Chains A and B, each alone.
Chain A
Amino acid sequence: MNAIAAFAAGLVFGVGLILSGMSDPSKVIGFLDVTRAWDPSLAFVMAGAILVGFFAFALARRRSEAFLGDAMQLPQRRDIDARLIGGSIVFGIGWGLAGFCPGPAVVSFGSGQDKAAVFVVAMLAGMALYYGLASRNDVSALDDAASAQKKKNPAV
């Protein structure tokens, strides 16, 4: 049941990305190209998503359990550090170079684009590289969900 719900959420998310124009790298680059011919459409994507998300997360925050019974796992971290800012800048450079962020890249891979496949493989390699480095240097570097999980259940 939980997996079916997650599948449905992924499906709706993907259709939303395609309908909005986010899964078209040319459109994304048109949005990032603020100094020349700027296409502000993607600001409307964020506005629409946050409009709904705001109420959903307000409700989620007041619950300790999701409606299908799993623990509610919201990020707990509040610190703004160099990893957050540096990582975001590195991500932004990659985003600007190709016009792909992770969701649209996976979706375009699903529509059979060989260039998207190459991007996704490189992205997975980048993530594997990070986890390789993180497990060697700093285990606490694992993501927010993991730290939230540890707080709820120290045995994990």
Chain B
Amino acid sequence: MIDWQHFTPWASLAGGILIGVAAAMLVLLNGRVAGISGIVGGLVGAWRGDVAWRVAFVLGLLVSPALYAFIQGRPVVRIEAGWGTLVLAGVLVGVGTSYASGCTSGHGVCGLSRLSPRSLVATLAFMAAGMLTVLFTR
């Protein structure tokens, strides 16, 4: 059943377009794929002499809530998970995206935009796993 009460098609579409614009900026100006797990992972594991753009991009992400708050008001962040669940989930996301070489942004947005079969398989796998997890834990 559709949850019409929380359905926000226009805001979500507009936000999606902004995400697409940001991915376009990064690939056309810097020649890089806007995959957040890859950008952050590159700072954690393999310092390959291309640190500046990664740090700059992550700083942009960190500052974005302040810009949003200035224009629109404080962002809504409702976190239902407890502390232990957050730690477990964080480790799983870190390990999983590293093995998969990508996450929702790298595979789901950029990979599907490139029509990559690898990214389609990855996206279907993490969507299905996420849906099953919610089905069994919520």
Q: What is the interface of chain A, defined by CB distance below 8 A to chain B?
A: 2-27, 29-30, 32-42, 44-57, 59-61, 65-68, 70-75, 77-80, 83-103, 105-113, 115-116, 118-131, 134-135, 141-146, 149, 156
Contacts of A52 in B (CB 8 A): 17, 20-21, 23-24
Contacts of B81 in A (CB 8 A): 25, 97-99, 115
Main secondary structure of the interface of A (DSSP, over half): helix
Contact residue among A14, A92, A134 (Cβ-Cβ distance under 8 Å from B133) = A92
- With A46-B16, A126-B91 as known contacts, state yes or no: A115 contacts B86, CB within 8 Å: yes
Contact residue among A3, A19, A120 (Cβ-Cβ distance under 8 Å from B14) = A19
Contacts of A23 in B (CB 8 A): 75, 77
Q: What is the interface of chain B, defined by CB distance below 8 A to chain A?
A: 1-3, 6-9, 11-34, 36-38, 40-42, 44-46, 48, 52-69, 72, 74-81, 83, 85-105, 107-118, 121-123, 125-135, 137-138
Query: Total number of A-B contacts with CB less than 8 angstroms?
Result: 533
Q: Are A50 and B53 in contact (CB under 8 A)?
A: no
Report which residue of B12, B61, B89, B116 has the largest number of chain A beta carbons within 10 angstroms of its beta carbon: B61
Q: In the complex the two chains form, what is the Cα distance from A60 to B20 in whole Å?
A: 14
Contacts of B123 in A (CB 8 A): 88
- With A80-B117, A100-B89 as known contacts, state yes or no: A145 contacts B33, CB within 8 Å: yes
Q: In the complex the two chains form, what is the Cα distance from A103 to B34 in whole Å?
A: 10
Q: Are B13 and A92 in contact (CB under 8 A)?
A: no
Contact residue among A20, A78, A88 (Cβ-Cβ distance under 8 Å from B129) = A88
8 nearest A-B residue pairs (beta carbon) = A126-B94, A10-B60, A20-B15, A14-B64, A48-B16, A122-B90, A92-B129, A52-B20
Report which residue of B41, B52, B89, B127 has the largest number of chain A beta carbons within 10 angstroms of its beta carbon: B89
Q: Are B52 and A39 in contact (CB under 8 A)?
A: no
Q: Are A10 and B42 in contact (CB under 8 A)?
A: no
- Tell me the smallest distance from the CB of A16 to a CB of chain B, in Å: 3
Q: Are A94 and B90 in contact (CB under 8 A)?
A: yes
- With A23-B77, A92-B129 as known contacts, state yes or no: A66 contacts B28, CB within 8 Å: yes
Contacts of A21 in B (CB 8 A): 8, 11-12, 15
Q: In the complex the two chains form, what is the Cα distance from A12 to B63 in whole Å?
A: 10
Q: In the complex the two chains form, what is the Cα distance from A73 to B33 in whole Å?
A: 8
